[in-house]
Structure 1
């Protein structure tokens, strides 16, 4: 049935609200969870209870800062970089299904769409490093490019395993095909997906492109004010998108008690649990070296993903 303009507008509004609210919730959760894990509570007074409004206060602070464009920068590339990084995850959020009926754009190959547009977000980092006209930013951008090339392959191979198991490239179709047996059968693919997604987001322990002790802030060294805040928002939006992807393809998405009415809530709760795991990884492990990063990708994740893909293919054939 053809979608009306009103329905399309409502879905677009819901995606936009989710895109603005969920990354902020993940950001606030990261601040508080890390504070308790590391025994440094930090600001506890903004907004009253537990400093819940500190993230809002930080956002206001960013809006008041001066927007500086370096004299040596490529002005167009420098200014467009944050928008490229941010809009990519907005497009990816549009195809993530929260329930069988609650999805911004239920396209036939939504898994491919999500992987394609989320990969564009890394181009924002490359544009930031190149356009800044700063040697530290350029080094960070080159590290980001090497990391993108290395971890894109295991990420796609892991997703291919889920698509093969579900018999479809649609995220909604994969969630419909999910069974509890997947928790064991597809566990290696889920591990590869989680690690590769964390590396794609340049999150610790895979934050070599923005290692402050080596390259200041890497591609983001010259960014100030709202432009820097947009990169932070894009990072948290990436966590939300990748967490929801794991929740849908590996944890069954909306599958759970009363999933008819509360299916969207189950998807959010499962995605939030995966986001907590990504935050925990940041607190628990030190930053890898570049050689360790490449070794993990090519000698660890890629062979594991290929073996899992072969096992999935055999399983599909035997159960057909």
Structure 2
């Protein structure tokens, strides 16, 4: 069945809109809300306390004695209660701030984090040809829909370029507040993020040498067929060369993950908002939804960072041992149910990565600022450069 150019353009437009609505607004934003809930519950478990466990269906509003938990679990509606609280709180803008930049800063933190989601493949493809069994005759059902909003050939570079803009929001928040603690937080954030962007970028250079390209979708398809970078247990991953490359890949993974902690201002690298020194850092003067945007921006950046780590090192949407289980992706003919399974696989890996972020925050103490900078410039920068050279030597020696 042939597709006209006009039909292809229309299908592409509709598919893009639906992917944006699904991934950005039905996946990322709910994950932001429930990452906060998970953080509070996990920290409560680590600190041997209860955490939010009451908020549920608000039957107390209708005279009942207590609310009812969702699925028998109290506290699952806590993110909705927090969001409603932010909406209803007074949006107070202090008189001494630079109002235009004070209002602009929260958006500059939230928007880059959401834009970078466009190039992360959250699944393989969805094939709707099965609708023909139900009498649907439209030609668009024979055109598989790739599950990435923008399939760019420079995916990692796009993410690093756009996400680096988030520091402008933090610096503007610190400067426009006309207060000493926010200003110190903004200065700390700018130097911290600039420092760790270098090691973050260098950490993926060995991966790009191995893959030979910058397209995140093709990287994921390669790992689906030949084994994940950190789990090369099928296909070409069983070769001696791939196992030898596990050494530089593991080094890259460690540098990447620790640098991601610093880039997202997560503990133990949360010096820009260090409560023990700076009250709340760059968002000390903020309240209501402007404060919520900073909060959402941090968690959205953490989720996208987790998605990028999963895509680069753990096969993205691919299912472990897919060739042995008969679950490999085949472009254009992947069944609809397998496409849904790939989405579930990707989101599961991202959730595990988020739990690691949370676990580290409530386990390790905060660094001193001089230790933070020393780690970035005197350890990770040199180690990342040496790792690039090591990867090149191994690839040359084993002719990979």
Interval of TM-score (by shorter of Structure 1 and Structure 2): over 0.9
Summarize deviations over 1:162-212 as a string: whole Å, max 9, x none.
222111111112223334472134111011110001111111100111111
C-alpha separation between the residues in 1 aligned to 2:218 and 2:389?
21
Pairwise CA distance, 1:12: 1.9
Where 1:9 maps in the other structure, the secondary structure is helix
Whether the aligned pair in 1 keeps the contact of 2:216 and 2:311 (CA below 8 Å) is yes
Give the alignment of 1:100-179 within 5 angstroms: 100=124, 101-178=146-223, 179=226
Mark the CA change 1:84 to 1:62 in structure 2 (over 3 Å): closer, same or farther: same
* Structure 1 counterpart of 2:19: 11
Compared with structure 1, are the counterparts of its residues 277 and 287 closer, same or farther at alpha carbon in structure 2 (3 Å cutoff)? Answer: same
Aligned with residue 281 of structure 2, among 203, 218, 224: 218
> What is aligned with 1:293?
372
Helix, strand or coil at the partner of 2:31 = helix
Q: Is the 8 A contact 1:259 1:266 kept in 2?
A: no
SS of residue in 1 equivalent to 2:204:
helix
1:4 is paired with a residue whose SS is: helix
Equivalents in 2 of 1:207, 1:108: separation in Å? 33
- Structure-to-structure mapping, 1:1-320, within 5 angstroms: 4-17=12-25, 18-47=27-56, 48=69, 49-100=73-124, 101-178=146-223, 179-180=226-227, 182-183=229-230, 184-185=246-247, 186-256=249-319, 257=322, 258=327, 260=329, 261=338, 262-317=341-396, 318-320=398-400
TM-score by structure 1 length? 0.95
Residues 203 and 118 (structure 1 numbering): CA distance in 2 closer, same or farther, change over 3 Å?
same
State the shift of 1:74 in Å: 1.2
Instruction: Work out the number of aligned pairs and report it.
Output: 320
Write out per-residue CA displacement over residues 220-275 of structure 1, whole angstroms, 9 at most, x where no aligned residue: 00000011011111111011000011100001112214354112221111111111
Please, what is the CA RMSD of the aligned residues?
A: 1.6
Say if 2:119 and 2:151, in contact at 8 Å, map to a contact too: yes
Q: Separation in 1 of the partners of 2:155 and 2:229?
A: 20
Spell out, residue by residue over 1:80-137, the C-alpha distance to the aligned partner (whole angstroms, 9 max, x if none).
1111111101110111001232111111111111111111112211111111111110
Poorly superposed stretches of 4+, deviation over 4 Å = none
Query: 2:53–2:75: 8 Å Cα contact kept in structure 1?
Result: yes
Mapped to 2, the partners of 1:319 and 1:181 lie a distance apart of: 20
Larger Rg: 2
Cα distance between partner residues in 2 of 1:305 and 1:180: 24
CA distance in 2, matches of 1:314, 1:50: 55
Q: CA deviation at 1:39?
A: 0.9
Question: Does the CA-based 8 Å contact 1:70-1:133 persist in structure 2?
Answer: no
Partner Cα separation in structure 1 for residue 78 and residue 20 of structure 2: 29
Structure 2 Cα separation of the partners of residues 87 and 181 of structure 1: 31
Note if contact 1:163-1:174 (Cα within 8 Å) is conserved in structure 2.
Answer: no
Structure with the largest fraction of helix: 1
Distance in structure 1 (CA, Å) of the matches to 2:160 and 2:205: 11
Give structure 1 stretches of 5+ with no counterpart. Answer: none
Distance 1:307 1:267 in 2: 31
Q: TM-score, normalised by structure 2?
A: 0.77
